[in-house]
Structure 1
């Protein structure tokens, strides 16, 4: 056995010991519930040499759950790229001008990039702002605000098991007695669409744009 260490607990596996092997990445682990997450009957089936039961480690299972979201994002990106290509072809075929200034290709790319970025964020207004002096505490408090908003809107914060909230940040300069808008940056535009669609469920004291 070339690698005789359990991938989970990193303890040595004695030679001759039956092991459980992931059918995707082929890492090995002790044939115990603590390392595999399998119960006794599942373990007996997993260590059989010619078995029909497929076993995947935790890392591979999480990757499989995230795969549909990644495929969807890749598809969206491809569609955006094709749209940009069509726009650029139009610029090449018809020399567009604004007054005496020729349209800048870089400006077109910048505009598309801004549109793509805006599709992945939303802003919460009138949400109470943390007064803590610690940045980490303020960020955690703002995340709780987002969680509460999602709860009120009845919108899940994950897509296919993957977390979609990338970061939260307050906009503008902090002033006493003023709650700055809270910008929520996400990884999935479809999540933002669901939030905006459900925004009417919020109380009038807090609204999303």
Structure 2
């Protein structure tokens, strides 16, 4: 293909103007790519240049990767939908049983039940996410450049932790961009097991970036209250003898140096 527009397109791979070089348009995202940058064979080039009945499709690297993970994403969504439906059915049965044995549930209890379901669903959805703090944020006006900069930095951190590159579905910044302030970066992985593995091994990383699980608002509120209680207890005792530790995924206040139980002779 050759450019006929007044404003010349830019190759999405090398970010250089197309000029008179031949290029292909991605059939998914519609971005142009130089033949050379896309590493297309002569046969592929000829097929793409057919004006009528072109059956060969061209996808850029980003779209090709997206198409590869799409079946896995759909499978995960289907599994999540089944889990949610199963949970709703179970709660529905419990409600029916209670209704048969007692008076109807008050409205406030019914609302609490809905909140519990929503909270559970939200926690399950967030399990495959991690929050990265202090990942340098690009000032580029190009969205793709900013995303690539974020992704490259995340990959460097992950390789230092796992010695491999986990599959990342997407990344995006949280909050409104402010001058001289770096926003947290949410990283969504292929499945929760990848995120959990990184959390368990993040102590192997000795850089400046911090990594946390993606908590729901209720989880964040509970953790903040727990921190206030920890400060209160430590101030009463006059020393930092207590700390917060995650037990079965739930943060709890424990003794920093638990006393051993003495056995009687």
1:176 alignment partner, one of 174, 179, 182: 179
3-state SS of the aligned residue for 1:138?
helix
In the TM superposition, residue 172 of structure 1 has moved relative to its aligned partner by 0.9
Residue 157 to residue 76, structure 1, CA distance change in 2 (3 Å): farther
Q: Is the 8 A contact 1:73 1:188 kept in 2?
A: no
3-state SS of the aligned residue for 1:123?
strand
- Flag structure 1 segments of 5+ consecutive residues without an equivalent: 1-7, 12-62, 159-163
3-state SS of the aligned residue for 1:198?
helix
In the TM superposition, residue 80 of structure 1 has moved relative to its aligned partner by 5.5
In the TM superposition, residue 109 of structure 1 has moved relative to its aligned partner by 4.1
- Flag structure 2 segments of 5+ consecutive residues without an equivalent: 1-42, 47-67, 99-103, 213-265
Residue 204 to residue 149, structure 1, CA distance change in 2 (3 Å): closer
Structure-2 separation of matches of 1:77 and 1:140: 31
What TM-score results when the alignment is normalised by the length of structure 1? 0.54
The alignment of Structure 1 onto Structure 2 pairs a total of residues equal to 145
In the TM superposition, residue 92 of structure 1 has moved relative to its aligned partner by 3.5
Residue 75 to residue 170, structure 1, CA distance change in 2 (3 Å): closer
Structure-1 separation of matches of 2:75 and 2:178: 43
Counterparts of residues 109-148 of structure 1 (less than 5 Å): 109-148=117-156
Structure-2 residue corresponding to 1:92: 96
3-state SS of the aligned residue for 1:197?
helix
Structure-1 residue corresponding to 2:108: 101
In the TM superposition, residue 174 of structure 1 has moved relative to its aligned partner by 1.2
3-state SS of the aligned residue for 1:168?
strand
Residues 120-157 of structure 1: CA deviation (Å, up to 9, x unaligned): 21100111111111111000001112211211111544
Structure-1 separation of matches of 2:165 and 2:153: 13
Residue 201 to residue 92, structure 1, CA distance change in 2 (3 Å): farther
Residues 2-27 of structure 1: CA deviation (Å, up to 9, x unaligned): xxxxxx97x9xxxxxxxxxxxxxxxx
Runs of 4+ in 1 over 6 A off after TM superposition: 66-77
3-state SS of the aligned residue for 1:101?
helix
Structure-2 separation of matches of 1:127 and 1:90: 46
3-state SS of the aligned residue for 2:132?
strand
Structure-2 separation of matches of 1:77 and 1:202: 35
Residue 192 to residue 137, structure 1, CA distance change in 2 (3 Å): same
Residue 190 to residue 140, structure 1, CA distance change in 2 (3 Å): same
RMSD: 3.6
